[in-house]
Amino acid sequence: MYLPFTEMPGHSRVWIYPANRQLTASEKVNASELLKAFCEQWSAHGHRLNASFRIDYDRFLVVAVDEKSAAASGCSIDASVHTIQQIGNELKLDLFDRTRIPFLKEGNILEFSLKDLKTAFQNGSISPRNQTFNLLASTKEEWESNGLITVEKSWLARYLPATV
């Protein structure tokens, strides 16, 4: 059953899908229609799931399910992934590339590949104090409170060169 994202409890499990580019207004409408229709019928082993979604920063598809009412199963999670794949195919988006890391700098989202991080730090394109998106957040509360964290406090800190 679809619920507005604001009504989802903080403990709701989330999956965050980063788009490789900003979505246009019409793409957000299209993605929202597909996600809402999916959430309306999403179930696991015959139990309806309380689910929602949100599109943050015109870039991140955040899907949430309240697993205290009913837990998402492997098959139901696969169904959600298929919906995300459908959205990606229709909108010509890559929503599964985890090798590109998004950063927020001066109100803009910049992306760097893992292999280019050291150079980006060395040439000042990004710094340890820039914010990155915590795509590893597992709950709505974690995404909302720590969805943006500084590089130096994230898992990316291990990639910082000693001279930065």
The string of DSSP letters for 100-128 reads: EEEEEETTEEEEEEGGGHHHHHHTTSS-T
Q: Crossing angle for the helix pair 74-91 and 25-41, nearest 10 degrees?
A: 160
The span from the CA of 152 to the CA of 17, in Å, is: 23
- Output phi, psi for 148, to 5 deg: -120, 120
Residue 164 placed within a domain: no
CATH of the domain at 48: 3.30.1360
Residue 119 CB-half CA count within 13 A: 6
Q: Between these two residues, 143 and 70, which has the higher pLDDT value?
A: 143
Residues spanned by the domain of 153:
100-159
Contact 133, 147 (CB under 8 A): yes
By mean pLDDT, which of 7-11, 122-126, 135-139 is the weakest? 122-126
Residues 104 and 143 in one domain: yes
Q: 49, 69, 91: which is the final residue of a domain?
A: 91
Confidence of residue 163 (pLDDT cuts 50, 70, 90): low
Residues 33 and 74 in one domain: yes
The pTM of this model reads: 0.92
Residues 39 and 61 in one domain: yes
- Output phi, psi for 114, to 5 deg: -55, -40
